[in-house]
Structure 1
Amino acid sequence: MVAPPHASSASAQQPPSRLDREAPLGVFDSGLGGLTVVRALRARCPSEDIIYLGDTARVPYGTRSGETVVRYALGCARMLLGRGVKAIVVACNTVSAVALEMMRVELDLPVLGVIVPGARAGVAAARGGAVGVLGTTGTISSGAYPRAVASLSTRAEVIGQAAPLLVSLAEEGWLEGEVPRLVSRRYLEPVIRAGAKCVVLGCTHYPLLQGVIEAEAADLAGAPVPVVDSARATAEDVANFLEERDQGSRRTRRGSLELLVTDLPKSFTAVAERFLGEPLGDVRQVDL
């Protein structure tokens, strides 16, 4: 069920106490791809309430300037802050690449991204070998994954490959068959040929195509190639963060999920349920 548009400002509600472990987690993305992170969070941290904001009116962020991405990201984060979240999870590789540090400076609460968890899982999976990364053009050109991997290992090389068509395939639901197989193979071939020992899915859309990507990578390499789902890696990172700071929810019921979007395209329900992996509840349209 979709609620009518509703304006909201960050000043409408006060942020939670730093000790409010039962406050919700705030998650945002430029569109709906970040729902794969929500899906992973609900599996790994089932008792946490989550508020998700998808900036569907201004998607994609990957083609925007860095200054614009920072401005959009701060607007999304402040709306979530105004709704009383205890931490913000940036479920967008583009924002994680170019705006994360500015957000941490500007916002008075923890901000976690998707790139470092994915890089960490990739380094572990590659076992000292080269780490392959599939991502949007903006993420790959930002150099964020090479920087993250370099901070974790001085030995691991990063082989990045922009794979923009995978976003369209995921949103259209083309998850099996010849078209996704051939597109995945085209993007994977230079990565595997260059010696990558694992492939990191550096876009939150890509986990929907993980089966096809795994099959094509194995065929190209002649052996199984680990494929890292950065959404799951991020959920694990968030769970560890909450546990280390004793900020995890202690409720026994399943956490709630509130969905906010800045626009409601016609295909919203079908696409959102595909990414989330469960039926939608109420969805509210908001203005930033």
Structure 2
Amino acid sequence: MQQAVAILDSGVGGLTVVKEVLCQLPQEKIIYFGDTARAPYGPRPAREVLLFTQQIVDYLTQFQPKMLVIACNTATAIALEHIRSRVSIPVAGVIHPGARAAIKSTRARKVGVIGTKGTIQTGAYEQVLKQISPGIQVVGLACPDLVPLVESGRFDGLEAIETVERSLAPIRELPMDCLILGCTHYPYLSKLIGQVMGPEVELISSADETAREISTILGHRGMLAGADETPQHQFFCSGQPQLFKQIAEMWLEQPIEVTPFDWQITNLIV
């Protein structure tokens, strides 16, 4: 049985990472878990985010994956080191890859970060950015209204435009040459975000860099799937499987099967 790369997120945001993995590592099997019933994680207390992430990891380990990817910025900021201490397989998050990509991009050394309330409050991006490149200027902004747009499939239209403009108003005039999309949901809105911020601001998505990190880790450990592998991907979601399937197929540009998951049945819900 082919071992999978297990990817988890609070909802459909982590599918942006899945898309890059499918492109860069097409031979790898993916098991994806979107906790759509409890999304968004951003406004939740850290204790809940930690518990929810641990619950999903506990569920995914039954499939014996060879690697875990926490494709949620809030969960990465709060739970990454805890999860690494609990499992024996490699675990990757999305914050370090996104920070590295921004540092490669910025010339003015002025970087913006937008994310959920939980991600911005931790200061995780600013900490990592300044660890790698001391002296870099970082401004963060919580944009809590963007994730619900994506989770409901409303990526365009007047409401989406108005919400993006309102959310970004506090930083759109600030000096910066790149903006980190510090939530894996935000690439769904990258066209609108780009229109608001203007062409002089490069948008940084951690998805591409995270896929490269997965490839590097698996390659270094001799765990890459063989070129002749034909992966059978699995997708789980904890709420509204039809909406999840619709969004996933639109984003991934291929048909998928979705297995509904009910936290009540597992007796793990808090």
TM-score scaled to structure 2, two decimals? Answer: 0.89
What is the Cα-based RMSD across aligned positions, in Å? 2.0
Shift of 1:282: 4.3
CA contact (8 A) 1:87 1:109 kept: yes
Structure 1 residue corresponding to 2:216, chosen from 240, 259, 266? 240
> After the TM superposition, which residues 206-245 of structure 1 pair with which residues of structure 2 at under 5 Å, given as runs?
206-218=186-198, 223-245=199-221
SS in 2 for 1:207: helix
1:127 corresponds to 2:103: no
Taking a change above 3 Å as real, the CA distance of residues 64 and 179 of structure 1, as seen in their structure-2 partners, is closer
Q: Is contact 2:43–2:116 with CA below 8 Å preserved after alignment?
A: no
In the alignment, which residue of structure 1 is the partner of 2:12?
32
Shift of 1:171: 2.8
Q: Which amino acid in structure 1 is aligned with residue 253 of structure 2?
A: G
Residue 76 (structure 2) pairs with residue 96 (structure 1): yes
Provide the C-alpha distance between the structure 1 equivalents of 2:253 and 2:128, rounded to a whole number of angstroms. Answer: 29
- The 8 Å contact of residues 90 and 111 in structure 1, kept in 2 or not, is answered as yes
Shift of 1:175: 2.6
Residue-by-residue CA offset, 1:66-123 (whole Å, 9 max, x unaligned): 1221121111112212211001000111110111011111111111001111111111
Q: Which amino acid in structure 2 is aligned with residue 230 of structure 1?
A: S
Partner of 1:250: 226
- The match for 2:85 among 92, 105, 109 is 105
Does the 8 A contact of 2:97 with 2:209 survive in 1?
yes
Return structure 1 stretches of 4+ with deviation > 6 angstroms.
Answer: none
Identity of aligned residues (%): 36
**Letter aligned with residue 184 of structure 1:** V
Q: State the 1:65 CA deviation.
A: 1.7
Distance in structure 2 (CA, Å) of the matches to 1:82 and 1:203? 27
Q: Report if aligned partners of 2:237, 2:258 keep a CA contact under 8 Å in 1.
A: no
State the partner residue of 1:204: 184
Q: Deviations over 1:183-235 (max 9, x none)?
A: 323333432422121011111111111112112211xxxx5211011222211
Letter in 1 for 2:59: M
Counterpart-to-counterpart distance in 2, 1:103 and 1:271: 28
Which residue of 2 is the match for residue 56 of structure 1?
36
Q: Contact between 2:172 and 2:196, CA under 8 Å: does it hold in 1?
A: no
Aligned to 2:246: 270
- Which ranges in structure 2 are unaligned for 5 or more consecutive residues? none
- Is the aligned partner of 1:283 residue 2:238? no
Counterpart Cα distance in 2 of 1:263 and 1:226: 34
Aligned residues: 264
Deviations along 1:117-154, whole A, 9 cap, x unmatched?
A: 11111111112511111111111111111111112110
Secondary structure at the aligned position of 1:193 is classed as coil
Structure 1 residues 158 and 186, CA, compared in 2 at 3 Å: closer, same or farther? same
Q: Which residue of 2 aligns with 1:16?
A: none
Whole-angstrom distance in 1 between the partners of 2:39 and 2:170: 28
- Pairing of 1:144-155 with structure 2 (within 5 A): 144-155=124-135
In 2: Cα distance, 1:246 partner to 1:192 partner: 44
Structure 1 unaligned spans of 5+ = 1-19
- The corresponding residue for 1:41 is 21
Contact 2:114 2:140 in 1 (8 A): yes
